[in-house]
Amino acid sequence: MDYLKLAARDGSTVTMITRMHMHTGTHIDFPCHVIPEANSLKDYGLQDLSGQGVVIDLSYKKEGEEITEKDLLKHDSHIRKGEMLFMFTGWSRKRAVTPSYLFKWPHLSKRAAQFLVKKRPKVVGIDGLSIGGWGGKMIVGPIAKTPSRKIHTMLLGAGILILEEVANLDKVLIHEKVARSFFILAPLPVRGAEASPCRVISIRPSA
């Protein structure tokens, strides 16, 4: 963030965001991120970006470990067609410029992604850096068995939107293993964008 004006000097403060790509922080991916000429942000409305959903606690997963179909089957009854699924791994608590956070987050396996394609939630979110694992050339390991782009293509190709680096999912769980909530997704309305920084709002019913 750069300062264009300062209140102490110019009478008002004006700042400018520079050099920020659309996959910064908590963000949502749309199909055209990996599929040429597929839907972008402009093709989605409030009905697509709001609705019932669930957060499941997968914080037992280790560094770089795959989230498997078996992990998801434990919550099968909570993963519902047309709703949202958020996976809490605890990685948002590790946010920092470290090898652990940048390269070793828990991520979906190919079979887990196939399971979700069959279940048809409309949104899948995770608090790690990506829905898929690290697949780069730097030897920081572990290298994902299935490239992250493949996981993206499987989900986005099935019309399932992806949220990554979702913060504060533990505040929805509130020490529970599963928590249902109504969610509202609020991306920046940049026409034609393949992704966008996004607020995720959870409205839980009172006890």
Whether residue 66 is contained in a domain is answered as yes
Q: CB neighbours of 151 closer than 8 A, spacing ≥ 6?
A: 107, 108, 110, 113, 131, 132
H runs (alpha helix) in 26-147 = 69-73, 99-103, 110-119
Summarised one tens digit per residue, pLDDT across range 108-160 is: 999 999 999 999 999 999 999 999 998 876 666 667 889 899 999 999 999 99
Whether residue 12 is contained in a domain is answered as no
Please tell me the pTM assigned to this model: 0.92
CATH number at residue 120: 3.50.30.50
Whether residue 73 is contained in a domain is answered as yes
Report the distance separating Cα 28 and Cα 176, nearest Å: 25
Summarised one tens digit per residue, pLDDT across range 44-63 is: 999 999 999 999 999 999 99
Total domains, the chain: 1
Whether residue 3 is contained in a domain is answered as no
